[in-house]
Amino acid sequence: MPDLIDPAHSPQPAAQLEVSPKKPRSDVKVTTLQNMKEKGIPVAALSIYDYPFARTAAKAGVDVIIVGDSLGMTVLGYGNTLPVTMDEMIVFASAAVRGAGPVFTVGDMPLGAYQASNEDAVRNAVRFIKEAKCAAVKCEASMKLLPRFEAIANAEVLVMGHLGLNPQKIHEMGGHRIQGKTVESTMELLKTAKALEHAGAFAILLEGVTEEVAGIIHHELKIPVYGIGSGRFTDGQLLIGHDPIDFYDWGTRPVPKYIKHYQSDVGNKTAGQVILDVFSQYVKEVKERKFPFPENVHHIDMEAFKSSQEGRGEDTADILKLMAKLPGDV
């Protein structure tokens, strides 16, 4: 029997008529991040170390992935980040980049990769770009290491400065201590942040810094300033990817207050769908400026702060003036 329907006018399934393909997400570039700062759009970032988690973070709408040397603790089971090697970082960064798609991916320079010389710094930074296909690198920062940042930037590699609580200097710092509690600490952080901007850093990451001091640094810099455990007055938030899904065993140590363990209405969902839900909820709360919540924030003890001036009255007055410019409520 002949076909009574003209193939050219055959009916299409309703789903094909009503649903258009989802528009692919544009690549997040350094210009994207700068534009987001200028427009006041918060950046949602996660530290991710492999292909499947990077794919999930990208689906959740994360803007930035930092492949941190924190993988030494979260993935490799070390007690801290110090043993992590450059070769290990390249392996994990390569995997994460393959899953990240359009997300801006940053490779974290481990201890020993940049401290000894400018040549080491440039060579290892280039490895992240050339071998792992990262968009940028991150280095823990201090005034002593400023020449390393200048060298990397002069080699035309994007470099992010990491200030505040520096895990690679836990012995020097006497442990994981919140920074920006004293006048001296605040002035040093602000001075170093401005120097990093001048040296060519494209962004700053503040870790474990009091909210008020993080807000001052954000206000004083033109480049993006992101925070992990550094309050709400920044251009975006970072969490270790394992923390919102409660996938890291803190043992007998208290879970840091800046971490939120997200919940999911599991139902019939797979483990992968639950992780996607958690990452998506985190992104949504960052974009809506809900996370971090007040209970996740470290504040300055103002009485202790003022008493820490020790002859630095002028510095204290300047800092208090800068604090007065911060929003009274978030």
Catalytic residues: 207
- H helix intervals, 46-85: 51-60, 71-74
- What is the CA 175 to chain-centroid distance, rounded? 21
- Are the CB atoms for 63 and 236 separated by under 8 Å? yes
* Encoded tokens for 232: 């709400």
CA angle 249, 251, 255 (to 5 degrees): 75
Measure the CA–CA gap between 75 and 307, rounded to whole angstroms.
42
* Encoded tokens for 120: 């080491």
- H helix intervals, the chain: 14-18, 30-39, 51-60, 71-74, 86-100, 118-130, 146-154, 170-173, 183-199, 211-220, 271-287, 302-307, 313-323
Amino acid making up residue 321: K
Measure the CA–CA gap between 33 and 88, rounded to whole angstroms.
28
Buried b (16+ CB within 10 A) or exposed e, 289-323: eebbeeebbbebeeeebeebbeebeeebebbeebb
Backbone angles phi, psi at 290, to 5 degrees: -95, -40
3-class secondary structure, 112? coil
* Encoded tokens for 3: 């076909």
In sequence order, what are the beta bridge partners of 139? 161
* Encoded tokens for 258: 């800046």
